Chains A and B, each alone.
Chain A
Amino acid sequence: MAGPAILPSRGLQALVDALLARGYRVLGPQVRDGAVVLADLTDIDALPLGVGDEQAPGHYRLREGGAERAFGFAATAQSPKSVLFPPDELLWRGRRTDDGFSVEPASPADDPDHRPVAILGARGCDVAAIAVQDRVLLGREHVDAHYAARRAGAFLVAVTCSDPAGTCFCASVGTGPRPRAGSDLVLTELADPHRYLVEAGTPAGQALLGALDTTPATPDDLAAADELVADATARMGRTMRTDDLPELLNASAESPRWAAIAERCLACTNCTAVCPTCFCTGVQDVGDLTGALDERHRVWDSCFSQPYSYIHGGAVRTWTASRYRQWLTHKLATWTEQFGTSGCVGCGRCITWCPAGIDLTAEVATIRELAEAHDAVAAGAPGGAPTDGGAPTPGGLR
């Protein structure tokens, strides 16, 4: 495989054109309704040039960014999950017939735009999240056929993150700011002059790169990219210790912190919707008035909704506290047992887009402090249990 190359600033348009010419639907970051979102892209002038973002718990604002940067912002409002694992997907149609009924599985033609997707601007966290979804949806006995079809055709152009936000912690979980393996191409946006360092991660990426007008990268280009990565790593807004998470959370099932979080948690499901790895869904049957046609759709659901834990006779998790506990413990602990990887990629979206500003990195730290204090008391050490952990654990938290 050829080495890293330099794509001139306007050369990015050639990359987009090459993807379009190969039949891809190109999606890239653009400003919509006060945020950077993924949207159809044909012209690189639509990229958020000179736009940055400000992200904090429950807070997102656009701001002026580096004048020359087209990717000078952090995580987009929604991750590529919304494209590869869409919120509403037709599974099959049933039709009434003269002698019963017929069932037709959904076909690609049901999607008004069923070109394979090329995602431009995925970050390290996004690429890692796609790898997690690959494990969950493709790596088990029953492959998700709908996801598999989209994923097989997808082309990923990742971009090294230069401007992490206040809610970012990819450096803590090892997913960024330089994207790990998994994308077809990785771009790193360099300044003075504005240019892109391009590295191919797959044969498909290599083939596309070969079709572009590039020059070999110099040691100075590589050093500039390393400097950008080091700078971004140092500017992560948050950190999370990860080495003890499964043990800590599995041992903290009765932590008083869950009830304290539930005082604030709105059970609105925003965190799970924006999480790039959350994959829980429900199915909905949609019938028409005549009774002749029925459609089964798969739609995003959430462990924060009470009906999601409904089994015969009632809901299993009737307390918001138990639902938050389920989500966090699954994401950071039992996910590892189930799938061999953490469910958290450090994008910080669940923190930014929580209307109540609940911060999982802070909650994990508090749960750890409470556990350590509890252990200290159990060991007879001085200090005693902290008093700011919230309400006592409800008996038999469900």
Chain B
Amino acid sequence: MSVDVAPLSTRPAPARGPLEGATPDARPTLAVWKFASCDGCQLTLLNCEAELLALADRVQVAYFPEATRAVVAGPYDVSLVEGSITTAEDAERIQQVRAQSGTLVTIGACATAGGIQALRNLADVGELAAAVYPRPDQLAYLARSTPIASHVTVDVQLYGCPIDRGQLLEVLAAVLAGRAPRLPSGSVCAECKRRGTVCVAVADGLACLGPVTRAGCGALCPAHHRGCYGCFGPQDTPNGRSLATVLGEGGMAAVDVERAFRTFATGAEAFRAATAPPIATGASPTDAAAGHGGRP
């Protein structure tokens, strides 16, 4: 779950601002940190294939165990932080990362909302551990999975499961230029309409969280005729109650509506509140996968 090499020094973090290069080779340094997560978001950085050489010209990849064993000691100009905080050890380590980082960017639903592992926050995690592991007494964990911003100051948040590579490049370009990144905060619907995707909810009755979900993915799932499953978390003024009512009135069972809101951004308060207490519907529970392709 956690990396074993953490080249953290006790030097202070560099000052923030346009990055002119803090290392002898004049390129700003980039570090990529992993907490409780699946690695998919850091893989997005490696997936920027066409841009990797240009990126390497602009930054020195100083710490990125998934890509290279070469390690440059901190502090770091830019830190990308993936994953949520689920152990006492990680709660301590994120403080060290913060102290070593100029601009700290959280990447992904785990880092920004606690991830799918935040489902434990709604249950007795001891019971879950006993159900899964033969020797739960050997585990050391916190009762809740929490986002990075619950522990340290975060400069930029990149949402999604996984993050969008275009947004990642935009943030890196913005940090390098010393400007604010351009990250939309409105709904996924706006992106569907801009790209000309026919609404999968209105025209096909698919369960879609697009109206309450933050833009940034380019409305990827609806473009492939799937409902948005809300992995970017809430848009800036979400009305989860209304959407939950719409889904219920469309015939979706209350338990399925609740599950639709409780996936990758289950730790987001607006999604939790959307179905608390459960809304009343006339339908019975179904086995359909809620929220993603389910037809109410």
Seed contacts A37-B196, A58-B246, A305-B237; 11 additional CB < 8 Å A-B pairs: A34-B198, A34-B204, A267-B187, A268-B189, A268-B212, A270-B199, A274-B193, A300-B194, A306-B185, A307-B185, A352-B202
B269 contacts A by Cβ under 8 Å: no
A202 contacts B by Cβ under 8 Å: no
B276 to chain A, nearest CB (A): 17
A289 touches B242 (CB 8 A): no
User: 19 A–B contact pairs at CB < 8 A?
Assistant: A37-B196, A77-B199, A82-B196, A87-B196, A265-B242, A266-B187, A266-B211, A269-B186, A269-B190, A273-B190, A286-B182, A288-B173, A289-B176, A290-B58, A291-B176, A299-B194, A306-B236, A352-B202, A355-B211
Give the complex CA separation of A82 and B193 in angstroms.
9
B243 touches A300 (CB 8 A): no
* A39 nearest CB neighbor, chain B only: B196
Give the complex CA separation of A61 and B200 in angstroms.
11
Give the complex CA separation of A284 and B245 in angstroms.
35
* B246 nearest CB neighbor, chain A only: A356
Give the complex CA separation of A270 and B199 in angstroms.
9
Residues of B within 8 A of A352 (CB): 202
If A33-B225, A289-B172, A290-B58 touch, whether A353 touches B243 (CB-CB below 8 Å) is no
Residues of B within 8 A of A77 (CB): 198-199, 203
Give the complex CA separation of A352 and B198 in angstroms.
12
Residues of B within 8 A of A268 (CB): 187, 189-190, 210-212, 235
Q: Which of the residues B185, B211, B242, B243 comes within 8 Å of A270, measured between beta carbons? A: B211
Residues of B within 8 A of A285 (CB): 182
* A266 nearest CB neighbor, chain B only: B211
Which are the 10 A-B pairs with shortest beta-carbon distances?
A: A273-B193, A268-B211, A87-B194, A266-B211, A268-B189, A33-B198, A268-B187, A305-B186, A35-B198, A34-B203
Q: How many residues of A contact B (CB 8 A)?
A: 46
Give the complex CA separation of A284 and B194 in angstroms.
14
Give the complex CA separation of A204 and B32 in angstroms.
62
Residues of A within 8 A of B179 (CB): 287
B99 to chain A, nearest CB (A): 27
Chain B interface bracket (under 10, 10 to 19, 20 to 34, 35 or more): 35 or more
Residues of B within 8 A of A262 (CB): 239
B54 contacts A by Cβ under 8 Å: yes
A355 touches B246 (CB 8 A): yes
Residues of A within 8 A of B193 (CB): 78, 87, 269-270, 273-274, 300
Residues of B within 8 A of A356 (CB): 211, 242-243, 246
B13 contacts A by Cβ under 8 Å: no
Residues of B within 8 A of A342 (CB): none
B202 touches A266 (CB 8 A): no
Q: Which has the most chain A C-beta neighbours within 10 Å: B57, B58, B202? A: B202
A51 to chain B, nearest CB (A): 13
B91 contacts A by Cβ under 8 Å: no
Q: Which of the residues A34, A37, A287, A307 comes within 8 Å of B177, measured between beta carbons? A: A287
Give the complex CA separation of A166 and B77 in angstroms.
58
